[in-house]
Amino acid sequence: MKFGIQVNEGPYQHQSSDSAYQFTKAALEKGHEIFRVFFYHDGVNNASSLTIPPQDDRHIVDRWTALAKEHNLDLVVCIAAAQRRGMLDEKEAKRQGKNASNLAEGFRISGLGQLIEAGIQSERLVVFGD
């Protein structure tokens, strides 16, 4: 089965991010395809390269990055939600006149059209969080 995944909650404020990661990982291990993982609302915080959890805690951003590398996943961050929360890639930082970017490796910024496409191209769109 081909899945699209939508993550609406941040990495440490709600179980949704962990659940989305575990679901995605399990689906891939069972041979399913993940068309795209789309991070929306506070879910864009899963893509922050500035996240530094305590040493004894899980590093959700690094988990997504490693999973994306291993399975060639398309991790897309909503541009509008990202900008509201201070998330920028190098291109957007330059375009907005900012001197830094903070998008973690493996993620890319794009628009809501990517979420619509995921819904169309996937057999199921699974949403994690409100």
Residues assigned a catalytic role: 78
How many CA within 13 A on the CB side of residue 3?
22
If we measure between CA atoms, which residue out of 4, 82, 91, 69 comes closest to residue 43? 82
Cα–Cα dist 102/28, whole Å = 28
Tokens of 129: 């969080």
